[in-house]
Amino acid sequence: MNQERLMQIIQGPVVSEKSNRLTEKYNQIVLKVLPNATKTEIKAAVELLLEVKVASVRTVLLKGKQKRFGRFVGRRSDVKKAYVSLAEGQNLDLEAAATKTAE
């Protein structure tokens, strides 16, 4: 896999109450990824960028909703999310990872 492609796969974390509960209870992280990314690419990208061992990856493709803005009809974009389970004994420090990717 191309290292440049792996750097572009992860678009950002999903920050919500549900994702926080998954992190605390099941040692999983939820990430927004490119719509055409495969599970093996997501696993390699997480292991490269966040320096953790990944046990499994599950993905879901969310279709964008149709919304009205007054008399105009708009559409939200489709989003692919990845639920990444970390291996036993692995822990993720998001603050340290954010500073590393910013450099």
For residue 96, being part of any structural domain is answered with no
Count of CA atoms in the C-beta half-sphere (13 A) of 44: 14
Q: How many domains are there within the chain?
A: 1
Whether residue 31 lies inside any domain: the answer is yes
Q: 20 in a domain, yes or no?
A: yes
Tens digits of residue pLDDT in 1-36: 789 999 999 999 999 999 999 999 999 999 999 999
- Is 95 inside a domain boundary? no
Boundaries of domain holding 20:
3-88
Q: Determine, yes or no, domain membership for 70.
A: yes
Is 45 inside a domain boundary? yes
Is the pLDDT at 52 greater than 90? The verdict is yes
CATH of the domain at 79: 3.30.70.330
Q: Rounded to whole angstroms, how far apart are CA atoms 12 and 51?
A: 16
Residue 94 forms part of a structural domain: no
* pLDDT confidence bin for 97, thresholds 50/70/90: low
Q: Does 53 map to a domain? A: yes
